[in-house]
């Protein structure tokens, strides 16, 4: 990690990472085979989180996608979709990697784990390359499973409903096993989810709004949220419609939806405590959908609702707190975010009355 000098143009960049073009190999390709097509990177400054051992990055051969010498037809699209559904074993590869890494003494350095990692990389890029992996190339699954793979609906029978012999479970002493046993869902459910919440005094949203307003004042930023009223209303409507769709779509009860909190957190709550296998699988899909929606909403806040393919700009007032174009854009997004929160709180207050 290198910090450019004061006069360097890279100092103007914010919320992004600049990778060097020098060297025999680019750094993104060494970080889980990143190809900068929307990849997100997490920078951890805590020195205690630094790894004690550094391994050579994998070097997978880049495969060129197959090309057509004619225009793409609807049949091509349909065939690609069918092939994708038939070869989409990404989740299976990931779970197998987790199982093998815990069973084998060498963990993720085991040969089977390294092979599974390469298969995972190939499968991730299938939608871009059209190159699928072969099911039969996967290592043979061990009979034993770590205790964190136990399903709540597993019974004591030796075979499942399909006549397949069930795996034997063991107590994992690796980090995932210790984390699994260190979290008691029943205690969380009884002490946190079902705890009595005091209703006197300001609400958490009122406290949040007060804190944000004080941060505005400390930095001499004028809110001007009233100028964003219409834009905030549109974004709030889009958010609520998307969340409402997920609340009903991921509900097991056709007469009752799950809560907005469940959708926002990407986790379906089980009223009896720990999740069932079906709820865990549905929560994975829910989390993916929620991430997609929230990414879209954040993009709208950053760029504004577009009119005639041009982003609406909001800084139509005199202010001394924006020094350049990028700063004005950031303040626009900040004020629009604030306006969305104010609009939401006003609606909550109206419903409470």
Confidence at residue 317, expressed as pLDDT on a 0 to 100 scale: 38
Mean predicted confidence (pLDDT) in 4-12: 86
State how far the Cα of 205 lies from the Cα of 212, in Å rounded to an integer: 10
pLDDT over 80 (residue 349): no
pLDDT over 70 percentage in the chain: 83
Confidence at residue 325, expressed as pLDDT on a 0 to 100 scale: 53
pLDDT over 80 (residue 239): yes
Mean predicted confidence (pLDDT) in 100-112: 92
Confidence at residue 64, expressed as pLDDT on a 0 to 100 scale: 73
Mean predicted confidence (pLDDT) in 141-165: 68
Confidence at residue 330, expressed as pLDDT on a 0 to 100 scale: 67
| Beta pairing class for 144-146 and 168-170 | parallel
Is 37 or 256 the better-scoring residue by pLDDT?
Answer: 256
Least confident of 101-105, 247-251, 297-301: 297-301
Handedness of CA 93, 98, 102, 106 (dihedral sign): positive
Q: What are phi and psi of 22, to 5 degrees?
A: -90, 160
Confidence at residue 73, expressed as pLDDT on a 0 to 100 scale: 92
**Among residues 266, 324, 336, which one has the least CA distance to residue 299?**
336
* Residue positions counted in the chain: 353
User: Any residues with CB less than 8 A from the CB of 256 and at least 6 apart, and which?
Assistant: none
Is 14 or 290 the better-scoring residue by pLDDT?
Answer: 290
pLDDT band, residue 153 (cuts 50/70/90):
low
pLDDT band, residue 13 (cuts 50/70/90):
confident
Mean predicted confidence (pLDDT) in 274-283: 82
Handedness of CA 294, 296, 300, 303 (dihedral sign): positive
DSSP for 170-204?
Answer: E---SHHHHHHHH--HHHHIIIIITSPPP-SS--H
* Chain mean pLDDT for the chain: 80
Mean predicted confidence (pLDDT) in 199-222: 81
User: Any residues with CB less than 8 A from the CB of 143 and at least 6 apart, and which?
Assistant: 167, 168
Contacts for 273-280: CB closer than 8 Å, 24+ residues apart: 273/185, 273/186, 273/189, 274/152, 274/185, 274/186, 274/189, 275/152, 275/185, 276/152, 276/153, 277/151, 277/152, 277/153, 278/252, 279/252
Helix (H) or strand (E) holding 146: strand 144-146
The neighbour count for residue 88, using CB atoms within 10 Å, is 13
Helix (H) or strand (E) holding 300: helix 277-303
State how far the Cα of 50 lies from the Cα of 61, in Å rounded to an integer: 29
Confidence at residue 160, expressed as pLDDT on a 0 to 100 scale: 52
Interior angle at CA 107, CA 103 and CA 111, nearest 5: 100
Least confident of 126-135, 174-183, 257-266, 315-324: 315-324
Mean predicted confidence (pLDDT) in 192-212: 78
pLDDT per residue over 295-335, tens digit each?
999 888 877 655 444 444 444 433 444 455 555 666 777 78
pLDDT per residue over 156-200, tens digit each?
555 555 556 678 899 999 999 999 899 887 777 777 767 777 777
State how far the Cα of 47 lies from the Cα of 329, in Å rounded to an integer: 34
pLDDT over 90 (residue 100): yes
**What is the greatest pairwise CA distance in the chain?**
74
Confidence at residue 309, expressed as pLDDT on a 0 to 100 scale: 44
pLDDT over 90 (residue 7): no
Confidence at residue 287, expressed as pLDDT on a 0 to 100 scale: 93
Mean predicted confidence (pLDDT) in 119-134: 83
pLDDT per residue over 44-93, tens digit each?
889 888 888 888 888 877 767 777 888 989 998 898 888 888 888 888 89
């Amino acid at each position: 990690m290198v910090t450019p000098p004061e006069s360097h143009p890279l100092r103007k960049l914010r919320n992004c990472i600049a990778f060097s073009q020098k060297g025999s190999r680019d750094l993104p390709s060494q970080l889980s085979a990143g190809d900068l097509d929307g990849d997100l990177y997490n920078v951890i400054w805590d020195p205690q989180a630094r790894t004690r051992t550094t391994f050579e990055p994998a070097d997978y051969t880049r495969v060129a996608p197959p090309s057509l010498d004619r225009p793409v037809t609807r049949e091509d699209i349909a065939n690609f979709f069918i092939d994708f559904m038939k070869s989409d074993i990404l989740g299976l590869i990931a779970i197998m990697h987790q199982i093998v890494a815990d069973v084998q003494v060498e963990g993720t350095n085991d040969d089977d784990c390294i092979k599974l990692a390469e298969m995972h990389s190939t499968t991730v890029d299938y939608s871009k390359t059209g190159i699928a992996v072969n099911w039969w190339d996967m290592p043979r699954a061990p009979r034993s499973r770590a205790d964190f793979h136990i399903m709540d609906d597993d019974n004591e029978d030796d075979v499942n409903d399909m006549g397949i012999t069930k795996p034997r479970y063991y107590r994992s002493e690796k980090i995932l096993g210790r984390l699994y046993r260190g979290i008691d869902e029943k205690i969380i459910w009884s002490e946190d989810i079902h705890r009595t919440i005091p209703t006197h005094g300001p609400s958490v949203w009122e406290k949040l709004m007060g804190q944000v307003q004080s941060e505005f004042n400390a930095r001499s930023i004028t809110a001007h949220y009233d100028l964003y009223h219409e834009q905030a209303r549109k974004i709030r409507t889009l958010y609520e419609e998307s969340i409402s769709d997920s609340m009903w779509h991921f509900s097991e009860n056709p007469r009752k939806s799950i809560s907005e909190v469940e959708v926002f957190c990407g986790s379906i709550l089980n009223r009896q405590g720990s999740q069932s296998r079906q709820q865990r699988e549905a929560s994975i899909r829910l989390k993916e959908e929620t991430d997609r929606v929230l990414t879209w909403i954040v993009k709208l806040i950053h760029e504004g609702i577009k009119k005639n393919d041009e982003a609406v700009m909001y800084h139509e007032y005199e202010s001394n707190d924006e020094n350049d174009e990028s700063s004005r854009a950031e303040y626009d997004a900040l004020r629009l975010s604030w306006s969305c929160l104010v609009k939401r709180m006003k609606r909550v207050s109206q419903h409470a009355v």
